[in-house]
A and B are shown apart, each in its own frame.
Chain A
Amino acid sequence: MNIIETHNLTRRFGRTEAVHGLDLAVPEGSVFALLGPNGAGKSTTIKMLMNLIAPTVGEARVLGVDSRQLSPREREQIGYVSENQPLPLWMTVRQYLDYCRPFYSAWDGELEKTLLAKFELPGDRKLQHLSRGMLMKAALLSSLAYRPKLLVLDEPFSGLDPLVRDEFVRGILEVSELGGWTVLVSSHDIEEVERLCDRIALMDEGRLQFAESTESLLGRFRRVEVTLQGGTADLASPPPDWLELERTGELVRFTTTRHEREVTEQACRQRFPGAAVAVNPMTLRDIFIVLTRAGRTAKKGAAA
């Protein structure tokens, strides 16, 4: 069952189309990352899912309900943390939690205490006096203590220094062990996402590029380095799944997006007879960069 589904979800701001015809499905129990560069439409998508803004066209269903119709009953099962969300900074951490508590029938006082200790949040300090990392932790705590079915994190790592980011991710990982929630994270922080997520969707310029499991994604992308050793190289009309094909002297490099060991080796033997082929796994970060760059090159080509 999908906990989030979107159909042709589109949002325009004047003439700018921030999100275009997005069809997305987030399975229940998954940790789903929405990746993309700045301006890709991730936050706009999440705002539409949370009913913070209305879609221009299309619809989104969250917990089986049209996002425009999300009622307090559904809200009790959704946790939302965003870098942009203004918190009541004049409250202390304790006051903030006290204020949130009555709105949730499933608020777990024990979990609140556990998380408070785990996140090392000072209860008597005002939110405005917390560091950015601490503030995000407080927001996370207030969104976790009622054990939501769906946790939505919109750019949660932005502006956090590496140490705090690590703590934050560890915090999410720890709580994810506590219950079977579905997590949707939007970010351009790939390393952190790689540690967290089991499914990934890439957005660029408002469009969904792909959505699949992290395992499958990491499995099908490979960086291939071919050393020609004096042989010939057929670089004309490369297969469409070869991206960023380039030759530097005797060295040819490209990224294949559909790696299968035999298929890749056979294709290399045909185009680069007698060459030495090295196939290297890629990090999510490398894949993200390659795809983003390839998308922009294709766009420039189309424009030219």
Chain B
Amino acid sequence: MNLTWYILKKDFVRLRLPLALWVILMVGRFLVGDRILRVENSDLDALQVTLGTLGAMHNVLFGLQLILCCVLVAALIHEDSVVGENAWWVTRPISGARLLGAKLVGLVLFFWVLPQVVSLPWWLYSGFDRRAIGGAVIQLAYTQAALSLLVLVVAVLTANAARFVAMVLLLVFAWMCGFITFLAHSPDVPLGVTQTRALAGVVLSLAVIALVVGHQFLTRRRGRSWVMFSVGFVLMLLLANFWPWDWSRWALWRGSEPPALARVTVAPTGEVAFTKVGSNLDPSLVRMEMGFRYVNLPGDYSLNFGSVTGTLRWPDGTMQKRTGWIQSYPMAISWHIMGLRAPAGVSPEEWRNSAQRRGDAAIIFIPGSYAAKLRQQAPAWTGELELAAYHGELVAEVPFREGAADGRAGHKVRVMRIEHLESGSLVVNLAESVPIPAGEDLPIPLDIATRRRPPACYVLSSRDRTKFVLLRPYAESGTFVNSVVVLRSTFSVNVGQLENPADPHWLDQAEVLKVAYWSVGSLVRPAHSDGLHETQFRNGHRVEPATAPKPAPGT
């Protein structure tokens, strides 16, 4: 073990200056992130320009940091190259296994642990609690692991930096060519299949990386390593484009659903609406929106974005099996707030359980001929819906005045500016730091690592907390700074519905509430409708057909 540390120490001494530069870039991003949260300007347009500049500055630093990270990982490997005929270490009493061990420990310490240590003060400064820090650690480790492992596998197959860069460019080009070539063959892929492909891609990538890296370090037979890598690369391309099965329910640990949602059922409304898609691939394709309601959904939970699989069955025996996804409509006013915030005199539990049922729509593409058939004869539909579940949490209650701040669960919200418009509306600018639960925006939808950044809603609440008005964002500048979402959002709000003639100063007592939705797993529910009928509905609400004039009596 001592010898492994000697190698590691040597690598650290060698890379200490670029590593320090890497850390400086990271700290620079923290400073820019903090500046984004603090910058003030009386002119909101000018503020947006400044925020844009700061955002661009952050992105440049981030780009440099990424490039430097790749260069450093490659340098760590090339320092004791496992390719070529003249490696120094091969002629010394250093085994390939020991060298591999030293490089892997270096990889973990330099590129996984070091950024965590450097980021910890930033997370604490951003108000992260233990849960938020845990999520940030997973998120950062996941991103760094993905980046460094991809670089690692290319670095072990190349002898020096120039060949490494050439190889990266070649692989990116090959991947794009392969993907574009295959893209036309899989135009409509259900979400579950896409998720399974992504997950299988991760598993295959890890296997190929482990195999190639291990083989190259232990045998230094580059030809065979290249064969393994090439086979893996082609398999990845095929998998990304042709994997047909949906294993997402098992593979993504979808089995565990929150106990609070055990009684939730899904009831189709029996109403469908059609929209012509005009697809180039299939001009007859029609988008079918099928309405359904959630039953027994507690008010502090929300169901969102998922997939649907089902079969249309006509009385004449015709069947059509189709897959689709769930369209979640934005809530006109936050049911969620209503679920979380009981009015005075009503117990929270009672209020929570009495929260209204909400509905969504499943979007399924079907051939036009079936839409026509459906209009003539109502088919039955039997299927299964898979839904992501979120639990709402009130994370900030900020007094509605400039400079006021509040936050919990890692969220920090500050009211930066309130502007009264002549129209009677208000413009509110908020500065926020928000934790990513673990893995927002990652390409691989592992549930454990990609619990989505909670969608949040902002509500201006009256003093008696019986009236709420949703803050609607019209400008947002934000960036991700090592698992912290740094946001400056500008909202407009029409406060007319909160006006209280009896209390002209009601606004001084108002609060901005922020509700974050935390991913808590997913649900799979069967659903059945005896007959689907065409109707019109928009945003989850049925649109009653214009009432036809009743025929005159006697006609």
Whether A and B are associated in the same complex: the answer reads: yes
Could you tell me the distance in whole angstroms from the C-beta of B227 to the nearest C-beta in chain A?
16
A8 contacts chain B at the CB level, 8 A cutoff: no
Cα distance, A84 to B79, chains bound together (Å): 16
B93 lies within 8 A of A85 (CB): no
A94 contacts chain B at the CB level, 8 A cutoff: no
Cα distance, A84 to B90, chains bound together (Å): 14
A87 lies within 8 A of B221 (CB): no
> Which of B14, B90, B98 sits near A90, CB closer than 8 Å?
B14
Could you tell me the distance in whole angstroms from the C-beta of B306 to the nearest C-beta in chain A?
54
Cα distance, A171 to B91, chains bound together (Å): 21
| Band of interface residues on B | 10 to 19
- Of the stretches A50-58, A202-210, A243-251, the one at the interface is A50-58
Known interface pairs A72-B93, A73-B93, A75-B93; A102-B88 also in contact (CB < 8 Å): no
Q: What A residues does B92 contact at CB under 8 A? A: 75, 100, 103
Encode contact with B along A92-114: 1 for CB under 8 Å, 0 otherwise.
Answer: 00010001101110000000000
B318 contacts chain A at the CB level, 8 A cutoff: no
Known interface pairs A102-B2, A102-B3, A103-B3; A52-B85 also in contact (CB < 8 Å): yes
A84 lies within 8 A of B93 (CB): no
A47 contacts chain B at the CB level, 8 A cutoff: yes
Chain A residue with Cβ nearest B14: A90
Chain A residue with Cβ nearest B97: A72
Chain A residue with Cβ nearest B79: A88
Chain A residue with Cβ nearest B91: A80
B90 lies within 8 A of A50 (CB): yes
A194 contacts chain B at the CB level, 8 A cutoff: no
A237 contacts chain B at the CB level, 8 A cutoff: no
Chain A residue with Cβ nearest B80: A88
Could you tell me the distance in whole angstroms from the C-beta of B80 to the nearest C-beta in chain A?
9
B86 contacts chain A at the CB level, 8 A cutoff: yes
B425 contacts chain A at the CB level, 8 A cutoff: no
Cα distance, A261 to B85, chains bound together (Å): 48
B210 contacts chain A at the CB level, 8 A cutoff: no
B86 lies within 8 A of A99 (CB): no
Q: What B residues does A71 contact at CB under 8 A? A: 95
Known interface pairs A52-B91, A80-B91, A99-B10; A85-B2 also in contact (CB < 8 Å): no
A88 lies within 8 A of B88 (CB): yes
Cα distance, A104 to B87, chains bound together (Å): 18
Number of A-B contacts defined by CB within 8 Å: 51
A103 lies within 8 A of B90 (CB): no
Encode contact with A along B1-40: 1 for CB under 8 Å, 0 otherwise.
Answer: 0110010001001100000000000000000000000000
Cα distance, A103 to B93, chains bound together (Å): 6
Encode contact with B along A69-90: 1 for CB under 8 Å, 0 otherwise.
Answer: 0011101101010101111101
Could you tell me the distance in whole angstroms from the C-beta of A278 to the nearest C-beta in chain B?
48
Cα distance, A99 to B10, chains bound together (Å): 7
B91 lies within 8 A of A53 (CB): no
Most chain A CB neighbours (cut-off 10 Å) among B3, B6, B87, B92: B92
Could you tell me the distance in whole angstroms from the C-beta of B417 to the nearest C-beta in chain A?
53
Chain A residue with Cβ nearest B160: A86
| Band of interface residues on A | 20 to 34
For window 86-113 of chain B, which residues contact chain A by CB distance below 8 Å? 86-88, 90-95, 98
> Which of A47, A80, A87 sits near B85, CB closer than 8 Å?
A47
> Which of B2, B14, B90, B95 sits near A52, CB closer than 8 Å?
B90
Cα distance, A59 to B10, chains bound together (Å): 35
Could you tell me the distance in whole angstroms from the C-beta of B81 to the nearest C-beta in chain A?
8
Chain B residue with Cβ nearest A87: B88
Q: What B residues does A84 contact at CB under 8 A? A: 85-86
A50 lies within 8 A of B91 (CB): yes
Chain B residue with Cβ nearest A78: B91
B94 lies within 8 A of A103 (CB): yes
Could you tell me the distance in whole angstroms from the C-beta of B168 to the nearest C-beta in chain A?
23
B10 lies within 8 A of A85 (CB): no
Cα distance, A73 to B79, chains bound together (Å): 23
Encode contact with A along B512-533: 1 for CB under 8 Å, 0 otherwise.
Answer: 0000000000000000000000
Known interface pairs A99-B10, A102-B3, A102-B6; A86-B91 also in contact (CB < 8 Å): no
Could you tell me the distance in whole angstroms from the C-beta of B44 to the nearest C-beta in chain A?
53
Known interface pairs A99-B6, A103-B3; A52-B86 also in contact (CB < 8 Å): yes
Chain B residue with Cβ nearest A51: B90
Could you tell me the distance in whole angstroms from the C-beta of B372 to the nearest C-beta in chain A?
67
A104 lies within 8 A of B93 (CB): yes
Cα distance, A75 to B90, chains bound together (Å): 9
A82 lies within 8 A of B86 (CB): yes
B88 lies within 8 A of A86 (CB): yes
Cα distance, A238 to B271, chains bound together (Å): 110
Cα distance, A286 to B94, chains bound together (Å): 42
Could you tell me the distance in whole angstroms from the C-beta of B461 to the nearest C-beta in chain A?
62
B95 lies within 8 A of A72 (CB): yes
Chain A residue with Cβ nearest B90: A52
Q: What B residues does A72 contact at CB under 8 A? A: 93-95, 98
Known interface pairs A54-B221, A102-B3; A76-B93 also in contact (CB < 8 Å): yes
> Which of A75, A88, A90, A95 sits near B91, CB closer than 8 Å?
A75
Cα distance, A88 to B79, chains bound together (Å): 8
A85 lies within 8 A of B88 (CB): yes
Could you tell me the distance in whole angstroms from the C-beta of A92 to the nearest C-beta in chain B?
11
Q: What B residues does A90 contact at CB under 8 A? A: 14
Cα distance, A78 to B90, chains bound together (Å): 11
Q: What A residues does B221 contact at CB under 8 A? A: 54
Q: What A residues does B86 contact at CB under 8 A? A: 52, 82, 84-86
Cα distance, A88 to B13, chains bound together (Å): 12
Could you tell me the distance in whole angstroms from the C-beta of B17 to the nearest C-beta in chain A?
10
Could you tell me the distance in whole angstroms from the C-beta of A124 to the nearest C-beta in chain B?
15
Cα distance, A94 to B143, chains bound together (Å): 39
Cα distance, A146 to B91, chains bound together (Å): 14
Q: What B residues does A47 contact at CB under 8 A? A: 85
Could you tell me the distance in whole angstroms from the C-beta of A236 to the nearest C-beta in chain B?
49
Could you tell me the distance in whole angstroms from the C-beta of B224 to the nearest C-beta in chain A?
11
Could you tell me the distance in whole angstroms from the C-beta of B101 to the nearest C-beta in chain A?
13
Q: What B residues does A52 contact at CB under 8 A? A: 85-87, 90-91
Cα distance, A95 to B10, chains bound together (Å): 9
Encode contact with B along A236-265: 1 for CB under 8 Å, 0 otherwise.
Answer: 000000000000000000000000000000
Could you tell me the distance in whole angstroms from the C-beta of A267 to the nearest C-beta in chain B?
47
Encode contact with A along B412-448: 1 for CB under 8 Å, 0 otherwise.
Answer: 0000000000000000000000000000000000000
Cα distance, A84 to B3, chains bound together (Å): 25
Cα distance, A84 to B91, chains bound together (Å): 13
Could you tell me the distance in whole angstroms from the C-beta of A91 to the nearest C-beta in chain B?
8
Known interface pairs A54-B221, A102-B2; A85-B91 also in contact (CB < 8 Å): yes
Cα distance, A6 to B95, chains bound together (Å): 23
Encode contact with A along B54-94: 1 for CB under 8 Å, 0 otherwise.
Answer: 00000000000000000000000001000001111011111
For window 180-217 of chain A, which residues contact chain B by CB distance below 8 Å? none
Chain A residue with Cβ nearest B6: A102
Cα distance, A50 to B93, chains bound together (Å): 12
Q: What B residues does A86 contact at CB under 8 A? A: 86, 88
Q: What A residues does B90 contact at CB under 8 A? A: 50-52
Some 6 contacts from A to B, beta carbons below 8 A apart, are A52-B90, A72-B98, A82-B86, A85-B88, A102-B3, A104-B93
Question: Which residues on A are within 8 Å of B, measured CB to CB?
Answer: 47, 50-54, 71-73, 75-76, 78, 80, 82, 84-88, 90, 95, 99-100, 102-104
| 10 cross-chain pairs, A with B, having the tightest CB-CB distances, nearest first | A72-B93, A75-B93, A80-B91, A76-B93, A103-B93, A52-B85, A84-B86, A102-B6, A85-B86, A53-B85
Beyond A52-B86, A85-B88, A99-B6, 17 extra complex contacts between A and B, CB < 8 Å: A52-B85, A72-B95, A75-B91, A75-B92, A76-B93, A84-B86, A86-B86, A87-B88, A88-B10, A88-B14, A90-B14, A99-B10, A100-B92, A102-B6, A103-B3, A103-B92, A103-B94
